[in-house]
Amino acid sequence: MADEEETLRPETIALDALIKATVAKIREQTDPSHPDAMLFMGNWHQAVPAMVIQDPVLEPVDKLVWMVIMLHARETGGRTAFPDYDTIASKTNVSSTSTVSRAIAILRLTRWLTLCARIRQTSGRFTGNVYILHDEPLPLVDAIYLDDAYMAFVTQSQEHHHARVRRVAQAVTASLDMDIRRGEHLADQESAIERRLQAVKMLADTSRNNDKSGRYFTFNAAALSQLKNSSDTGIAEQSDQHQFSKAETKTHYSSGCSSHYKKTTTTTTTQNTHNEKKAFSESSQSIPLPTDQTLIYPPRLSENQKLLADRYLAMIAPEDRQLVLDELQGRLSSEQKGMKPVYDELRFLHSLCKAAQKDEFVPNLGIKVAEARKERVRHVQPPEDETQKAQTAEERERSQAYAREQLAKLRASLNMDKK
């Protein structure tokens, strides 16, 4: 035995001692629910946030893409060029760059990744984007500040060609709508510790995922449950559609169709879209957004704020929406007269909408805003239509002809035409 120990490496002898100590420790345990143990031998490598691994929304490929982007940032010092799709696909061993594109879209929707700038040259030529990678999902208030097109991206993603991107985007909007119905302010800034504790609680107590008060960063528990149910429905429908497509394979090929894959994929996507909308509407109806294109928003609101404002305005009567917006504009304009600045325009709008819901809203500062707008409209002359322009030109030509005729008569009477 002594000869064998002399031939073994010291690391192996230390490992054997650690195993024996672990076995002894397990034998002393009285809880039989954890019979297995694990040891890690080797060098500790680069750390990855536990929240990325445990995220209930991200799929394995999404998490892997996040890790590759982080690895690229670490290798180059943090401030570097964003890796292109081919590089990410190569390092993740993903065969399709469209899969990488889908993963990046989901990371942006869930706010693990932020597109904060689009760079163009002075000539207008597009040269690239600036991204920020986060170690946990970004709060909404920060996302709409850094990414001026985030809400538009969420809206557009609900019509994305990939079913999973659509479902995640629908879950994001469902969370927003549920928060509004509960009277919560969408841009409330919670402390980082509170957000992490909520997320950890959601992950640790999976049996209470249907608890309406639970939340995992971007998503509340109800929206997460809907997302899971819609995903399960989509998988089942894809399986049924796949079997149906196989049954029709001969028919497609015999008819000389060279786009069999496209045809079956399009059919599946359409049916999934219908089922996704049904799944997301069963437990909570989405808020119908205002369709009145004549609403005039305060110029100070960004595009993100306008899209969020629509979700607040949808909860009040249509006839009150412009009155509320005018009141907000009046309050913002009053800052120039010495009133306290409004640092959160959406919070003020939220309070006005809640007052309107309770029939407690009384226009005040917005009255002058509405009157000034009417005054500007009154002083703007309406443009002449084509008929009026034609009549005016005809009258001008008739007047000029009459003037020439009278001048000719006058010259004739004075013999001015004679040499």
- Please, which residues bridge with residue 129 across strands? 118
**Beta strands in 7-103, from DSSP E residues, in sequence order:** none
pLDDT in tens, 286-297: 566 666 568 999
Place of tokens 């969370």: 175
How far CA 60 is from CA of 53, 206, 217, 357, in Å, comes to 8, 19, 19, 44
Quote the DSSP letter at residue 337: G
Cα–Cα distance, 196 to 201 (Å, whole number): 8
Quick one: pLDDT at residue 262? 35
* Closest C-alpha to 85, from 104, 63, 110, 60: 104
pLDDT of residue 369: 92
With a CB cutoff of 8 Å and minimum separation 6, the contacts of 83 are 68, 69, 72, 91
SS3 269: helix
107 closest CA partner among 77, 68, 145, 161 = 68
Query: Which tokens hold the place of 319?
Result: 């006839």
The DSSP code sequence of 37-61 is -----S-------HHHHH-SS--HH
Q: What is the pTM of this model?
A: 0.70
Stated as kind and residue range, the H or E segment containing 345 is: helix 345-357
- Measured CA to CA in angstroms, residue 156 lies from 69, 72, 125, 150, 226 at distances of 24, 29, 24, 10, 20
Give the chain's residues under pLDDT 70: 1-6, 30-38, 40-45, 76-80, 187-190, 205-213, 231-293, 380-391, 416-419
Q: Which tens digit of pLDDT belongs to each residue from 147-191?
A: 999 999 999 999 999 999 999 999 999 999 988 888 888 766 667
Q: Mind listing the pLDDT tens digit for each residue in 247-287?
A: 333 333 333 333 333 333 333 444 455 555 555 544 445 56
Question: Position 293: which residue type?
Answer: Q
Q: What is the pLDDT of residue 365?
A: 93
- CB-based contact 214:223 (threshold 8 Å): no
Q: Return all residues near 333 (Cβ < 8 A) that are at least 6 apart.
A: 365, 369
Q: What are phi and psi for residue 130, nearest 5 degrees?
A: -120, 120
User: ∠229-235-241 over CA atoms, to 5°?
Assistant: 135
Counts for the chain of helices (H) and strands (E), in that order? 18, 4
How far CA 241 is from CA of 247, 249, 331, in Å, comes to 10, 12, 56
C-alpha distances out from residue 6 to 2, 3, 15, 221, Å: 6, 5, 15, 59
At the second CATH level, the architecture of 45-134 is Orthogonal Bundle (1.10)
Q: How many CB atoms lie within 10 A of CB 96?
A: 10
Q: Are 416 and 407 in contact (CB under 8 A)?
A: no
Domain residue extents for the chain: 1-38, 45-134, 158-247+260-287, 303-379
- Structural tokens at position 236: 């089942």
Closest CA to 167 of 259, 90, 105: 105
Within its chain, how far is the Cα of 170 from the centroid?
9
pLDDT at 306: 93
Query: For residues 2 and 74, what is the distance between their CA atoms, to the nearest angstrom?
Result: 46
What's the token pair of residue 16?
């054997």
Token pair, residue 310, equals 């629509």
- What does the pLDDT read at residue 126? 75
